Structure 1
Amino acid sequence: MIVPRAVTAPDAQLRVAMGWKGTRRTAASAALAGAVALLLAAAPAVGAEPRTGTGSGAGTVPSFASAAARQEPSAPAPVPRLPRDFRGKGRWIVRDLGITVPFTWEGRDGDSQMTAGGPRYPIWFTNLIHHGTLYTLTYKWPGLTEHPCSRIPGFDLEALNKGFENARFVGPETLRRTPQRRVNHWRVGVVLPELPPGNYPRLPLALGDIYVDEDDPGTFWQVLQFGVQNLYDPELDEWLVMDTFEHRPGTVTLPRRCEPPR
C-alpha cells in the first residue's frame, strides 16, 4: 500500500505491505525497500473499480473501470482491518501494460498471502506475511531478469492493522459492478517531508485507496496502489479487484525460494 503524519516504522512497513510486490528484488532494491519501510509514516495493499480520488471527493474513472456513485463523506466508518482468516479471488490489473491476471488473497491464523498470475501469464508474483516476516517474490514481470525473494522481518497482521488506524476516510461509494457493492473508501499514504505546512517541495512516495464493505471493514473489495512499491510498472500504479471474499481460512504457503538456508 500511502498523508501527513509522524514517521513510524510500523506505518512505513504497511506502505510496503500494501504494495507487497512492488519494491524491486535486486540487492540494491531490497535495501531501498528496507529504507522505504523505515521512512514511510504510520498504512495499502490495496480503488471504485478502478477510480482515483482525493481527500474529500471527486475523482475520475479510467476507461477500463466501472463507475462509482459518489456520496458526500459522513461520519468516519470503522477503519479497515484485515481478518485472521479469509479467502478471496479476483483480478490483478496493470492497466498501462494492458495486463489483467487472476488473483487470490488468502489468510490463515494471522498469516496472509497474495498471488497474482501464474506460469502461463505475463506476470506472476506472490507476497505474504508468514510468521512475522513480510516476503515478496516476483517470478515473472516484463523486462525483469532477477527473481530473488526479499524479506522484511518484524511485520505481522497486527502491524498491518495498526497502520490502517491512520487511514483517512474519503466517503461511502457504490462499486457499479455485478453485483453492485456498497463500500467505504479510505486513503492511506506517505508524503515527504510531512511538515511544515506551506509552500515546500514534497515527494509522494506511496498512496493507496482501499475499498471495504460498508457493513464489514474486514471485507476488502478493491485496492489501488501507487508509488515506489510499484517500481516495476511504468505508471507506478496497480489494482487488485476482488470478485469474492469469504471469512473462512485460506491457504498460506511460503515458497521454497524464500525459506531460510539450512
Structure 2
Amino acid sequence: MALRRTRRTLVSAVAGGLLALGVVAPGPAAPPPRAAQADGPTAPDRREPRPPLLPADFQGTGRYIVRDLGIDVPFSWQGRNGNSQMTAGGPDHPIWFTNLIYENTLYTLTYRWPNIPLFPPRACSKIPGFFNRQIFNDKLKTSRYVGPEILQGDQDRHVDHWRVGVVGGSTVPGEFFRFPLALGDIYVDQRDPSRWWQVLQFGLQNLFDPELDEWFTMQTFDHRPGEVTLPDRCPPPTS
C-alpha cells in the first residue's frame, strides 16, 4: 500500500497505499541496500516464482528514503483484517505522511514535506472509487518477474524482484497515445512472497520529489496483526 493528496493517489493504488511512510537536520541518506544477482552455492534452487501478495494481517518497520533530498526517516507498514496503513516520519521529521486502505477506500494524508507549505496541514484525500486489498493483489498478479536477487545490507536477503506499472491512455500499444503514470520495483522474500523487503516507486505520484522516485526498505516484517487507524481528519468510508 500507496499514495498524500494528489501526488500519492497513484502509488497507493499500485503499492498499497504500490500503493503508500527525531531528525532535526537530515544528513545524506544512506543508500538503499544494493541488489546483486543471486548465484553461487548459497543461491536457492530455481523454482516457479509467485508474484507479490499483500497479506491481510502484518506489521513491519523500516526506513523511507528520498535520496535527492537527503531524507531517511522511520517507516512503518501495518495491516489488520485486510485494512493497511503506511506511515513515514512523524512530527519531529522532515517528512510525515500516512496512506491507508481502509474499509474499501483509499486515503492519503501529508502532514509535512520539505519545501512544501503545508500549514495549515492539507486535508485528508479520500480517493474516489472502490479500492481494497483484493483489488491491489489482483494488480500485483500482473507484475513482471525481473529475477532472483540478494539485497545486501546488515542482513543479506534472498528476494524475488518484480515490476508493476500503470499506463494511461489507449490500451492498444502503438495505435494511440499512451503515457506512464506509475512504476514500482518490488522485492519480496523468495520463500514467502507475502513478506515484503523493499519497494522503489517512480512516477507522477512522486511529484513532490525532484527526481520523482522514493524508496522504502523494511528491517522487520512478520504476519502478526498490526494497528490501522483512520486519522480524525479523514472522512469516513461511507461519506
> Shorter-chain TM-score: what band?
0.7 to 0.9
C-alpha displacement at 1:96, in angstroms?
Answer: 0.6
Partner of 1:65: 32
Partner of 1:223: 199
* Partner SS state of residue 24, structure 1: helix
Partner of 2:109: 137
Q: Does 1:210 align with 2:182?
A: no
Among candidates 95, 115, 123, match of residue 148 of structure 1:
123
1:111-260 aligned within 5 A: 111-146=83-118, 147-152=122-127, 153-193=129-169, 194-197=171-174, 202-260=178-236
Structure with the higher fraction of residues in helix conformation: 1
Q: How far apart are the structure 2 equivalents of 1:127 and 1:229?
A: 12
Partner of 1:23: 6
Identity of aligned residues (%): 54
Instruction: Render the CA deviation track for 1:163-198: whole Å, top value 9, x for unaligned.
Output: 101000001100011211000000001234553349
- Give structure 2 stretches of 5+ with no counterpart: 20-28, 40-45
Among candidates 100, 106, 122, match of residue 78 of structure 2:
106
C-alpha displacement at 1:204, in angstroms?
Answer: 2.2
Q: How far apart are the structure 1 equivalents of 2:102 and 2:168?
A: 30
* Partner SS state of residue 161, structure 2: strand
Does structure 2 conserve the Cα–Cα contact (< 8 Å) formed by 1:22 and 1:232? no
Q: How far apart are the structure 1 equivalents of 2:104 and 2:168?
A: 27
1:17-96 aligned within 5 A: 18=2, 20-21=3-4, 23-24=6-7, 33=9, 43-44=14-15, 45=18, 64-71=31-38, 76-96=48-68
Q: How far apart are the structure 1 equivalents of 2:70 and 2:158?
A: 27
C-alpha displacement at 1:203, in angstroms?
Answer: 2.8
Instruction: Render the CA deviation track for 1:96-143: whole Å, top value 9, x for unaligned.
Output: 100010000000000000000000001100001111111100000123
Does structure 1 conserve the Cα–Cα contact (< 8 Å) formed by 2:126 and 2:235? no
Q: How far apart are the structure 2 equivalents of 1:138 and 1:164?
A: 25
C-alpha displacement at 1:70, in angstroms?
Answer: 1.3
C-alpha displacement at 1:202, in angstroms?
Answer: 5.0
* Partner SS state of residue 79, structure 1: coil
Q: How far apart are the structure 2 equivalents of 1:169 and 1:212?
A: 11
Query: How high is the TM-score relative to the length of structure 1?
Result: 0.74
1:22 to 1:173, Cα distance in 2 relative to 1, 3 A: farther
* 1:155 alignment partner AA: F
For these two proteins, the number of residue pairs brought into alignment is 215
C-alpha displacement at 1:24, in angstroms?
Answer: 3.5
Instruction: Render the CA deviation track for 1:30-85: whole Å, top value 9, x for unaligned.
Output: xxx5xx69xx9xx4327xxxxxxxxxxxxxxx98233222159x665111110000
Q: How far apart are the structure 2 equivalents of 1:69 and 1:102?
A: 25
- Give structure 1 stretches of 5+ with no counterpart: 1-16, 26-32, 47-61
Q: How far apart are the structure 2 equivalents of 1:220 and 1:151?
A: 25
Query: How high is the TM-score relative to the length of structure 2?
Result: 0.81
Does structure 1 conserve the Cα–Cα contact (< 8 Å) formed by 2:198 and 2:218? yes
